[in-house]
Each structure stands twice: as C-alpha cells, then as structure tokens.
Amino acid sequence: MLLFENIADLHKAQGVPPPDNPLFGLKILKKASRTTPAFRDMELSCNFYFICLKKLKSGNLWYGKTKYDHVHGFMYFLRPNQRYSVHDVKLKEQGFSIEIHEDFLSGTSLFSDIKKYSYFDYETREALHLTPREEKIMWSLFKKMKTESRNNQDEFSKSIILSHLDSMLKYAQRFYARQFIDRKPLSGTTIKKFTECLEAYYVNGEAAKIGIPSVAYMASTLSLSPKYLSDLLKQETGKTALELIHLHTIAEAKNKLAAGDENVSAIAYQLGFENVPYFSKLFRREVGLSPRDYRNRMHN
C-alpha cells in the first residue's frame, strides 16, 4: 500500500507540479489520461482529506474488497487515512481533485464542520452521482478556488477559498439527499432487507450469543458502509439505523413481556443486553413505562 503523508509527495507520484500551498492542493485531471504506472494496481491512503470528481472511460476504483465501476460523472470524498484502490483508470472527460490537510483548516469553523459530513465515511462505491446541472455547480466552485489560489495571496485569500470549499460540501450534502430520493426503489429494498436481517438475528438467537446487533454488523450484512446505511434509512424512514435497531429490540421485548412470565433480567439477556438497568432505561424511554409496569398493564 502507498501511504502519502503530504500533498507534495502525492503530486510528485502523479507526475504533476507540487501545490503552491503545501497544505492545500487543486488539480485538473486531464481527459483520457491514464493513471501513472505506480497507480495502476495499487492500494492508496493519504494523510489528508481528498475530494475528487471523475468520469471514467475504463478501469475501476475499489474500496476494501468491493469493486465498483463508474461510467458516469461522480464525486467521492475521503477522510485522512482512508484506504482505496485505483486499477488502471482512464478518464472519459476532465475531472478535478482537491487535497486538504487538516492543518490548513486549523483555527477555522471548517476544522470541526468537515467532520460532520458523514459522506466522508462512505465507501467509494457509494459515490455521489451528479446530474449535469450539479456537475456544473461543482466545477464552478472548483474553478473559483483555483482562481483565488493563483491570485496574489493576501489576508482574504484563505477565507475566500474556504468559503467556496464550504459551499461545495454543503452542495454535496444536498445532492446526496437528492440521490437518496431518486433511488427510493433501492432504499425500499434496503429497508426491507434491513428488517429481515433484524428479524432473523433475533429468531436465530444471535442476540443472546453476541449481543444487540450493531450498526456496523447490519451494514456489513447488507454490503454498505455504516454511515451510508444510516443516512439512507434516515432519508426514507426519518430514523437512523441505530434508532431502528432499538425500536425492533423493544418490540421484541414487548412481545416477550406480554407473552409469558419470564423475569425482566432473563428477557434482557435474551435480547443481548449485558446491563439490565440499561435495558430498563431504553424500554422506558421508548414505551413510557418500565418493563414490569408494561407487563402488569398487558396482563390486566
């Protein structure tokens, strides 16, 4: 695996000039340019944020062990030290990339704000697929940043560049929301599979063996990243993956409390809770009653 500690080393490996600012890089990716030999079949990781817009003519990108072919315009967003692989990629049209070292954001609101965008934790195959209008907006913001970076630097330059970057990140959030809506048939299938997996988990007694299913477990089962799964479910149902897991677990608890006389501790352990007070607290939060009070009400 190739690990790039700084932006200049990445530019050097790609055969392009180093950035004017060692903490902030902007590159035009040339049409029909093929990746350099060093990148044709290699896993990469960078010690900085990486934003990229591409249209592939051939080749593919990998994230972990998952392959995904991109034939249309798309963007992906990588946080520092996130691994991805490039396999003999050739571009169909011009693209761009932006590299931002965390130190470049120090002392600004973006230092914290950029961490709030969950799409930096999506997998490459969960890329943002842009409409032509959206692509124009992203190109416009990139060109504004590039123009400002080439002008005579003054006390306003950095804040102007960061304002355009901030706009790009906000637009990406908006466009991902549009993508979730456009792909409702996909999200509907995901919700169905998510529910089926939860039901099977409890029917097979997995909760008693290994605990309450985590978001990471559910995401892995559905071949999605945890953040993408949660955002997809939030868009469709108004609830995150963790909230849906809790609701399903409480539904299982209500069924057991109403059906028999098992003590609350036994039910809690069957459902994967190691801590009975936590089970009671979660149950009260969701139902408005303690487990014992709920059972008494149902039996009466």
User: Of all helices (H) and strands (E), which one includes residue 66?
Assistant: strand 66-68
- On average, the pLDDT of the chain sits at 82
What confidence tier does 187 reach under pLDDT thresholds 50, 70, 90? very low
More confident residue, 262 or 189: 262
Q: Averaged over 263-272, what is the pLDDT?
A: 91
Give the burial class of 184: count Cβ atoms within 10 A of its Cβ; 0-12 exposed, 13-18 middle, 19 or more buried.
exposed
Q: How many CB atoms lie within 10 A of CB 289?
A: 16
Q: How many CB atoms lie within 10 A of CB 20?
A: 11
- The domains found in the chain, sorted by start residue, are 2-182 (2.60.120), 185-299 (1.10.10.60)
- Note the pLDDT of residue 92: 64
Q: Is the dihedral of CA 209, 214, 217, 221 positive or negative?
A: positive
Gyration radius of the chain over CA positions: 24
Give the C-alpha separation, 289 to 278, whole Å: 14
- Note the pLDDT of residue 91: 61
Q: How many residues are listed for the chain in this entry?
A: 300
pLDDT at 105 over 50: yes
pLDDT per residue as tens digits for the range 215-231 = 999 988 888 888 888 88
- Note the pLDDT of residue 62: 43
Q: Averaged over 286-298, what is the pLDDT?
A: 88
CA atoms within 13 A on the CB side of 163: 7
Residue 127's identity, in one-letter code, is A
Give the C-alpha separation, 123 to 252, whole Å: 32
More confident residue, 253 or 90: 253
The answer to which of 28-32, 33-37, 248-252 has the lowest mean pLDDT is: 33-37
Give the C-alpha separation, 228 to 254, whole Å: 30
